[in-house]
Structure 1
Amino acid sequence: MAGLTSTPNQENPFKTSWVNRLIFAVIIGYLFYSMSTLGLTLDRLILGFGESERLLSRMFPPDFSRSSLLLSGLAESLQIAIISSFFGIVISLFLGLMAARNMMPAIVSIPIRGFIALCRSFHPVIIAILFVKAVGFGALAGILTLVFASIGFIAKLFAEAIEEISFKPVEAIRATGASSASILLKGYWPQIMPAFYSIVLFRWDINVREPAVLGLVGAGGVGVILNDAQNLFEWQKVAMILVSIFAVVIIAEAVVIQIRNKLI
């Protein structure tokens, strides 16, 4: 057990000091201060649980009498996810390459990184509201929103994956006199392929879920049906939609896992 005992020269990474204790006390103090200013009381929490119980009693059993309308909403959500993911991936491939600091000069990479940062600076719901105002209600607003969000996600992580590659295989292939396309496909792509597949599959999983939220602001998909049922206090239909969304998300996640196991 000698390997488990600490030596006199080994520094304790969890050692305490007055500075650490003061920082911890400030964090705890600010936590309680924030809870008091926001009105987060135990009475409100207990009242909320009671209201939630009454709401759930109205939602069950789910009403599947309008399943045709639900299926059309789910199909539209899936179409939004597929189209936005495709264009988001294609655009992100180009922008990620342009944003990589080991591939492009600063005069190119810095503006591109600024645009990518802009794409991920705002919540998709905010972007969806702007696109709904610009192009009107419907699936187009949802597609543009998710393309915008996908660029901010995929392009950033793709650029970071490119920046982490080793240039030794690239230089070895370049020394053979290979073309630029061969250098790209045989030198760069094998190194970034696992990360790229993981990023794309993860973003696809997100894009399948997002239309349910974006539809609440008019950006198409099953969220529009959910919003209508909620406004009409048709809680059993709300439960039907929520159960269906949960089932679709689970199926999509299972598909993603199978694809990931085969590709990565």
Structure 2
Amino acid sequence: MSAVPVHIRPYRMSTQARWGALVLFIIFAWALSRIDISWARFLLGTENAAKFVGRMFPPIFNPRDELIKGMWETVQIAILASALGLLLSLPVGLLAARNLMPAWVTWPVRLFITLCRTFHPVIVAIVFVKAVGFGALAGILALTVASIGFLGKLFTEAIEEISMKQIEAVRATGASFANVLTFAVVPQVIYRFIGFIAYEVDSNLRNSTMVGIVGAGGIGGTLFAAFQRFDYDFVLGIVICIIALIMLGEVLQIAVKKVFKQ
């Protein structure tokens, strides 16, 4: 086997890549120079952070009723938003699939999915808080919109990647459109859909803690109130409970995937 010539460098950057890296470096340096960052400010921030962390220990979990209510409301928001998002995302993902629907149907639906993904759930939650008032309803609606944007896009991509041979074979039998979906589309995407849904439930558990900060219910509101009262030890207790909740959701997600893979 002949040796590779010394002058050949397979991992050498091309001229375009070098210019691109230079442009990115210039943009980074310019952005860094435009914001107020100094070493003295960094040291001051480190000192303040140390004092803040020191006031968080030891963590406390009282008032317990307030903590339990906030955590339970967070779970309810996540589950209801995921369920509503799933029910609405299934037809949306189907209508946006270009291999099953005509272009005049797919493009408006794709635009709707894009609009649902455009804004962060916190921003959407602020809008719904203004519309329906403070509470869990605003959080459920905000996370439902986020779920449609996420699940709708993934459902669409999964459907568009299926094999058309099975669809054509079922259609050749004279089956209706509903039977084509049942016997040709669903078997090819069901396991991917389960993974998407499990991830979205986990994502909504995290997001439901954030939307509460703007008044959309859940443990986020309790966390924000504790910050306002300077109860930093209670803040740490809330954070520990949130971490435990997310870890529990991750364990359940893995368990669900194992069950459906058997």
Which secondary structure state, in structure 2, belongs to the residue aligned with residue 120 of structure 1?
helix
Cα distance between partner residues in 1 of 2:4 and 2:109: 49
- The alpha carbon displacement at 1:176 in A equals 3.2
Which residue matches 1:48? 45
Instruction: State yes or no: 1:109 paired with 2:106.
Output: yes
Cα distance between partner residues in 2 of 1:196 and 1:166: 16
Cα distance between partner residues in 2 of 1:45 and 1:205: 34
Instruction: State yes or no: 1:185 paired with 2:182.
Output: yes
Mean Cα displacement is larger for which, 12-21 or 182-191? Answer: 12-21
Instruction: State yes or no: 1:161 paired with 2:161.
Output: no
Which residue matches 2:92? 95
- The alpha carbon displacement at 1:29 in A equals 2.1
Cα distance between partner residues in 1 of 2:180 and 2:255: 30
- The alpha carbon displacement at 1:18 in A equals 4.0
- The alpha carbon displacement at 1:249 in A equals 0.5
Cα distance between partner residues in 2 of 1:161 and 1:18: 37
| Aligned-partner residue type, residue 104 of structure 1 | M
1:85 pairs with 62, 78, 82, which one? 82
Which residue matches 1:138? 135
| Aligned-partner residue type, residue 16 of structure 1 | M
Cα distance between partner residues in 2 of 1:104 and 1:29: 46
> Does the C-alpha gap of structure 1 residues 47 and 82 become closer, same or farther in structure 2, counting only changes over 3 Å?
same
Deviations 1:7-54 (A, max 9, x none): 89xx86532344432322221122122112112333333322221111
- The alpha carbon displacement at 1:211 in A equals 1.4
Deviations 1:181-231 (A, max 9, x none): 332222111111122111111111100111111010000001111111111
Cα distance between partner residues in 1 of 2:177 and 2:247: 42
| Aligned-partner residue type, residue 24 of structure 1 | A
With normalisation by structure 1, the TM-score equals 0.93
Mean Cα displacement is larger for which, 80-89 or 170-179? Answer: 170-179
> Does the C-alpha gap of structure 1 residues 112 and 44 become closer, same or farther in structure 2, counting only changes over 3 Å?
same
> Does the C-alpha gap of structure 1 residues 13 and 140 become closer, same or farther in structure 2, counting only changes over 3 Å?
farther
Which residue matches 2:213? 216
Cα distance between partner residues in 2 of 1:83 and 1:44: 44
1:191-202 → structure 2 map (5 Å cutoff): 191-202=188-199
- The alpha carbon displacement at 1:122 in A equals 0.4
| Structure 2 gaps, min length 5 | none
Cα distance between partner residues in 2 of 1:82 and 1:37: 43
Q: Percent identity?
A: 43
| Structure 1 gaps, min length 5 | none
Mean Cα displacement is larger for which, 247-256 or 44-53? Answer: 44-53
Which secondary structure state, in structure 1, belongs to the residue aligned with residue 55 of structure 2?
helix
Cα distance between partner residues in 2 of 1:70 and 1:6: 66
Deviations 1:57-98 (A, max 9, x none): 001111122122101110000000111100100000010000
Deviations 1:215-262 (A, max 9, x none): 100000011111111111111111111111011000111110111122
Which residue matches 1:176? 173
- The alpha carbon displacement at 1:103 in A equals 1.1
Which residue matches 1:61? 58
Mean Cα displacement is larger for which, 12-21 or 61-70? Answer: 12-21
